[in-house]
Amino acid sequence: MAERGVAGCTTKEIARAAGVSEGTIYNLFADKADLYLSVASELIPQFLRRLPEDPGRRHPRALLIKVANETATAMSELIPLLAGIMGEPELLAGARSRWSAGKAKGKSFGGLTEYFREEQAAGRIGDRVDPAVLARMFIGTVFHHAFMRLLVGESNLEPSGRKFVESLVDGVLSAAGAAREAQPC
């Protein structure tokens, strides 16, 4: 898939590269769409799917900078795979069917949404914006930046690199609103 893209890759070639029979592929995955979506799911950074073990341990800005960098890196592999799925009507239909059945519903944003919800409840970030919207603002902007980086090259983007990531995180935290002041004991 990495060498020839989704359209140029067959399940027979995938099986050969994995050292298994094509039948094994179909025993593990319902169809080609299921196979590709499973690969895509593995590329989504773990943080986006589940809340970190110790919420509040790191300052939200520091943690979100780390997450933005990890997500941008993952998007470099995920975007071509998703583009290939969207370009194949059969794969796209399978993907939509999977999403409609709830098998993949919310998984890509669940952890980040929950993180924002926990940080708002603890008063470490403001609560002006719904946590699910904050998660989508964050991921959507990283996705767009990664897409444009793949399309036109990093050198043609402004801002880029560290400046982009820090500006994004500061913008999302600003949109959320000010953190509550600590209450005296």
pLDDT in tens, 141-179: 999 999 999 999 989 999 989 999 999 999 999 999 998
Ranges 19-33, 45-59, 142-156: which has the least confidence:
45-59
From the number of C-beta atoms within 10 Å of its C-beta (0-12, 13-18, 19+), residue 29 rates as: middle
> Would 144 be classed as within a structural domain?
yes
Tokens for 66, please give them: 């780390």
* DSSP at 59: -
| Closest to 126 (Cα-Cα) out of 169, 165, 177 | 177
Tokens for 182, please give them: 């600590």
Q: Give Cβ neighbours of residue 38 (< 8 Å, ≥ 6 apart).
A: 29
pLDDT in tens, 89-140: 888 888 888 777 765 545 567 788 888 998 999 999 999 999 999 999 999 9
Structural domain that includes position 66? 31-176
> Would 58 be classed as within a structural domain?
yes
> Would 18 be classed as within a structural domain?
no
> Would 7 be classed as within a structural domain?
no
- Give me the residue label for tokens 């800005």: 61
Q: What pLDDT, on a 0 to 100 scale, did the predictor assign at position 84?
A: 85
CA 154 from centroid of its chain's CA atoms: 19
Number of domains the chain contains? 1
CATH code of residue 108: 1.10.357.10
